Amino acid sequence: MQRIESHASHGGIQDVWQHESAVLDCTMRLGVYLPPQAQQGRCPVLYWLSGLTCSEQNFITKAGAQRYAAEHGLILVTPDTSPRGADVADAQAYDLGQGAGFYLNATQAPWAAHYRMHDYVAQELPALIEAQFPATDARGISGHSMGGHGALVLALRNPGRYRSVSAFAPIVAPSRVPWGEKAFAAYLGEDRAAWREWDASELVAGASERLPLLVDQGEGDEFLASQLQPERLRAACEAAGHPLRLRMRAGYDHSYYFIASFIGEHVAHHAAALRG
């Protein structure tokens, strides 16, 4: 691993690292925040998955989460949203290709060669973090929009891997909204049965672990009705008896102003599970 940025923050250190990913077959960047407690011993890890068009930079520079991670003694790990590089398939549209990995394992050409973000986040990344940093194997996962979709799906598909999960404005039913339909058709092909394996509102019915889901959604979000549709997740959780805390926030939109307003509550939610 190569450290390419380092900044003092709230008594800890916000770094940016890059490494060669065997799973994605490209160079990847990620943010790692080490709280001051990491100087004395190992700390639990909260993984954050960002949304469409983002890189590792958006969350670490806009959310203000370092303050709360320092308070609770959590390491924050923020990977990029997709594989990148001259040899990695891309598209002209902002919602497909580089910057839009959707945290799944692609099966269709040309995407399958690199787009395996699920395996990267679930397997390669924690192995790397737990080997290279003072991290325990207590993990939480959270994210925003496309990253909120990723956080929910990763937790539901990997029982026992995470102790906590939350999301801001997640795409809860990607197989039934335009963003997801476009990406899933490209990455997974036209068989909609395969899409259900990457759709949180479909996965809760068969979940073997009842890990509580915490979701915050702005009522002023411009994508609420067309792309996010949290009522689908609410209905699926009610039908399956899966614990869900869905908080609709009056006046808030899809931006990092929304995330920064409530990220402290989410970090506290994860800390209670990770340190409890």
Which residues are identified as catalytic?
145, 221, 254
Matching residue, tokens 């370092």: 66
Alpha-carbon distances, residue 95 vs 37, 65, 200 (angstroms): 38, 26, 19
Of 73, 21, 25, 71, the closest CA to residue 46 belongs to: 73
Question: What does 178-229 look like in DSSP terms, one character per residue?
Answer: HHHHHHHHHHH-S-HHHHGGG-HHHHGGG-SS-PPEEEEEETT-TTIIIII-
Phi/psi of residue 211, each to 5°?
-70, 120
Strand 2-9 with 26-34, pairing: unpaired
Residue 46 tokens, joined: 């909260």
* Local structure of 23: helix, strand or coil: coil
Q: What tokens appear for 35 in the block?
A: 């709280």
Distances from the Cα of 147 to the Cα of 36, 53, 78, 86, 168, angstroms: 27, 11, 11, 24, 9
Q: Which of 133, 129, 71, 132 is nearest to 275 (CA)?
A: 71
